[in-house]
Amino acid sequence: MDAAELAIIRTVVGIALLVFIARVLGTVFKHFKLPEVVGEVIAGMIFGPTALGGAIYVLDAPLIEHNELLTAFSVMGGIIILFAAGLEFTFADFRKAGVAAFVIGAAGVIVPFFLGFYGSTLILGFEWPAAALVGATLTATSIAITIRVLEELKVNHTAEAKIMVNAAMIDDVLALAVLGVIASIVQGGTVPDPVQIIGVTVAAVGIWFVMLVAAVFILPRVVKVTTLWKSEGVVEPLATALAFGLAALAAIVGLSPIVGAFAAGMALAGSHAIHQIREYIDKLKLIFGPLFFAVVGSLFDLREVLSVDFGVVILITTLAIVSKLIGAGLPAMKLLKDRQKGYRVGLGMISRGEVGFIIAGLALANNIFDQGTYSAVLLAVMITTIVSPIWLRRAYRNNIPIPV
């Protein structure tokens, strides 16, 4: 076998190990009444390439490495998770939560960005490019983690859960627009004027909305035609193709693949074959869900904990938490007319994830973050990823709301 074949074999074995260990650790956490997703993320941290996964050698190389194959499987996991989430929300649900979700999602991007920016400049003394990238890192919610906790608690059909998920989708679209603006500043050295920034943001939201409406109109009809064939095993491959097709389309137009997958799921939520599709996707999630969260955990280098400035970590973590409670939680309290529900929305929006890692990596690659700042930002992102599902679960534990 040549080197390429050996690398593929190692990656496949590594993926199998990550899935198994993440599932086991998730089950252990569930036994102790903690969110399974936290166990899966920690499994990735422990068995990632910078920890045990890199120390175990198979065929003369580390068992687990971040390569294109592992990344591809992780992206597939994110697409499946968000597609499954979309299957729980019809377009009618989105319209019902529309204004509230947009306000909460927009505020959940604007407040973290400016708190991160001014906190970094006034307290840490960062120059504006580094401060802007800290602010950008704090914008995007890791919606996959929030969805997982809502599903575990069986509250994903409640009013605040629907608003939370739809707000997080708006949040993600806007955060990616911010990323696009920041990337153009960093890589091109030019600062867009306010009209350009607003234009990029409006375009991103508009593209996603057009994609969603088109999907809602077209996809259920496509599925209905295939069900008329009365042929077994047609609906499931079609649903998979539609999920990945819309994810790819979203990526082509500059959005995250997961927002396309969510739109596909929402479109099929009203189809005649919805129960069949849900059963199929739930089985896929058993494998791809733990893998996705384990890979998220593996992105953090445990060795960086030894050299990080914990003062910076504490400040950025505090800004990350407070900014979402203010930006998303306070508007939710007002719009839902319920402080407890609004507080839950704020908690559900705290977790950051893959977008934060991408922005931090961009800053490091362009010498805007030094290694210490990069490590501090990554650790802060990882802390929010772990504490948010724990706090959200605790907030629901003693007062489960009535589904609507």
Q: Which residue has the tokens 């899935």?
A: 19
- Which is more confident, 212 or 94? 212
pLDDT digits (tens, 9 = 90+) for 2-45: 777 888 888 888 899 999 999 999 999 888 877 788 888 889 88
- pLDDT greater than 60 at residue 404: no
- Are the beta carbons of 235 and 247 closer than 8 angstroms? no
Phi then psi for residue 50, to 5 deg, are -95, 5
What's residue 272's pLDDT?
A: 80
- pLDDT greater than 60 at residue 192: no
What whole-number percentage of the chain has pLDDT above 70?
90
What's residue 38's pLDDT?
A: 81
Mean pLDDT over residues 177-201, rounded?
A: 65
pLDDT digits (tens, 9 = 90+) for 280-289: 999 999 999 8
Mean pLDDT over residues 85-111, rounded?
A: 82
pLDDT digits (tens, 9 = 90+) for 54-97: 888 877 778 888 888 888 998 899 899 888 888 877 777 777 76
Q: How confident is the model at residue 187 (pLDDT cuts 50, 70, 90)?
A: low
Taking the C-alpha atoms of residue 324 and residue 138, their distance in angstroms, rounded to an integer, is 9
pLDDT digits (tens, 9 = 90+) for 196-209: 666 767 777 788 78
What's residue 402's pLDDT?
A: 42
Taking the C-alpha atoms of residue 346 and residue 202, their distance in angstroms, rounded to an integer, is 24
Mean pLDDT over residues 108-115, rounded?
A: 91
- pLDDT greater than 90 at residue 366: no
pLDDT digits (tens, 9 = 90+) for 226-246: 665 566 678 888 899 999 999
Mean pLDDT over residues 191-219, rounded?
A: 75
Mean pLDDT of the chain: 83
How far CA 283 is from CA of 84, 242, 287, in Å, comes to 11, 17, 8
- Are the beta carbons of 147 and 165 closer than 8 angstroms? yes
Mean pLDDT over residues 182-192, rounded?
A: 62
- Which is more confident, 51 or 189? 51
What's residue 33's pLDDT?
A: 76
Q: How confident is the model at residue 115 (pLDDT cuts 50, 70, 90)?
A: very high
Q: How confident is the model at residue 189 (pLDDT cuts 50, 70, 90)?
A: low
Mean pLDDT over residues 251-264, rounded?
A: 83
pLDDT digits (tens, 9 = 90+) for 138-175: 988 877 778 888 888 888 788 788 888 888 878 877 77
What's residue 24's pLDDT?
A: 94
Q: Which residue has the tokens 């919606």?
A: 143
How far CA 67 is from CA of 259, 264, 350, 357, 361, in Å, comes to 24, 28, 29, 16, 16
Amino acid at 287: I
Q: How confident is the model at residue 116 (pLDDT cuts 50, 70, 90)?
A: very high
Q: Which CATH class is domain 84-289+310-397?
A: mainly alpha
Q: How confident is the model at residue 372 (pLDDT cuts 50, 70, 90)?
A: confident
Mean pLDDT over residues 270-297, rounded?
A: 88
